[in-house]
Amino acid sequence: MTGLFTEALIALVPAAGIGARAGSPDGRPKQYRDLGGEPMLRRTVRALLADPRIVQVRVAVAPGDPWVDAALAGLPRTVWRPCGGPTRAETVRAALQDADLADTTWVLVHDAARPGLPADALGRLIDACQAQGRGGLLALPVADTVKQAWSTQAGCARVARTLPREGLWLAQTPQMFRTGELQAALDACAGDPRVTDEASAVELAGAADRAPLL
């Protein structure tokens, strides 16, 4: 992290999911799965703490979560709050309300199950967003051939066409926006199933040009 801009920011980690698809044998959600002797969530938070401009990491968990206290014990600049909702968007929205931040505060949202965040990628995102004064997100260009399909009977699908992959990107996290902009976007799009990440909420709220891909 070598950026000239040193404006502090808050990181939010939505961690209220039950991780049903992960199939953990002990019933723990995916974010608490053991990785090298420690919970995945702990590794994720430590990756965020690697940048000193992140003054606090706020982890939003489901009410009654019995694992988070032990998973995050002893980590600096880290708090957890039982304000998680049934969807990612509702969890982030509730976490913003709980944090009660100024509208101009930068907030960086990162998935609980992405512990392998490179420090240089995190620093690059922060540098770019603060230098340009606009939100953004990490993303990867699509490398595979993309097919559009239509459904048929018996649960099968048939190829309708091949889509050109030029200009297609896979959204990653962290995603970074000003608190006021993100809160307003999530409020405006509350309950909209098209909101699958923070950038999509900002786009639907009418600010698609404010999310550069890095």
Looking at residue 185, the DSSP 8-state letter turns out to be H
SS (H, E, C) 134-154: CCEEEEEECCCCEEEEEECHH
121: left (phi over 0), alpha (psi -120 to 50) or beta: alpha
Question: How far apart are alpha carbons 79 and 12 in whole angstroms?
Answer: 10
148/159 Cα distance (integer angstroms): 6
Give the β-pairing of 146-151 and 157-163: antiparallel
More reliable by pLDDT, 153 or 31 = 31
Q: Provide the token pair at 121.
A: 């990628």
9-133+171-210 topology per CATH? Spore Coat Polysaccharide Biosynthesis Protein SpsA; Chain A (3.90.550)
For the stretch 161-177, pLDDT in tens is 999 988 899 999 999 99
> What are 186-208's pLDDT values in tens digits?
999 988 899 999 999 999 988 65
> Does 22 have pLDDT greater than 50?
no
Domain boundaries defined on the chain: 9-133+171-210
